[in-house]
Amino acid sequence: MRGVFVTFEGIEGSGKSTQANLFIDWLKDKNRDVLFLREPGSTKLGEKIRDALLFSASDEVSGSAELLLFLAARAQVVTEKIKPALDGGATVVLDRYSDSTFAYQGYAGGIPINTIKEMNSFATLGIVPDITFVLDVDIEEGLKRAGCEDRIENKGLEFHSKVRDGYYRLAADDPARMFIVKVQDSPQDTQGEIRRIFSSVFT
């Protein structure tokens, strides 16, 4: 029996990692077999690509190279970790996946969405999340929380505004899978909404 594939998305500083970890604790309390991964990363190749993508100077990575590097890291983690875990019945929780590429490199970066779709389908073996939580927070607040410590975070307010708009467009096109979750002052309140949505979908 195939496992459940859950992804967390959102702009910088939206609290994805915090919410994903709280969610995993909840799943483990229910005795689920859970695998937590991040993108890019979670494999030897993926971590090297992560360093190159996030901590190179902005002018060292072109838009097309950025896209290809993200997809290379994704192809590796899908083949090495995600597909085997899902085939084994585990619940896979992933911090960022394909929707990040559509939002960042597509809607914000200007690469045609149809081009990304074709390339991404190849990289992911056609594996799509069962449910995606998009954490939504004010852009300036999110960037303040993030601290603008890496190359992507430093792309500026206009870029991140386009990313946020991109997520809204993606969610509108796929409402059965993607759920916008407003980030509350209390992480537990935000988590409560995530758990409520998940329980309503997977009863």
pLDDT in tens, 69-97: 999 999 999 999 999 999 999 999 999 99
Tell me what pLDDT residue 145 has: 78
Share of the chain above pLDDT 90, in %: 80
Share of the chain above pLDDT 70, in %: 95
Domain boundaries, the chain: 5-201
Residue 93: closest CA among 194, 195, 6, 184:
6
Tell me what pLDDT residue 181 has: 98
Tell me what pLDDT residue 147 has: 63
For the chain, the average pLDDT equals 93
Residues 32-45 have a mean pLDDT of 97
| Whether pLDDT at 148 is above 80 | no
Q: How far is CA 25 from CA 112, 175, 199, in A?
A: 38, 26, 15
**pLDDT-derived band of residue 117, with 50, 70 and 90 as boundaries?**
very high
| Whether pLDDT at 174 is above 70 | yes
Quick check: 142 and 12 in contact, CB under 8 A?
yes
The reported pTM is 0.93
> What CATH number was assigned to the domain covering residues 5-201?
3.40.50.300
Residues 22-51 have a mean pLDDT of 97
Quick check: 19 and 8 in contact, CB under 8 A?
yes
Tell me what pLDDT residue 16 has: 93
| Whether pLDDT at 8 is above 80 | yes
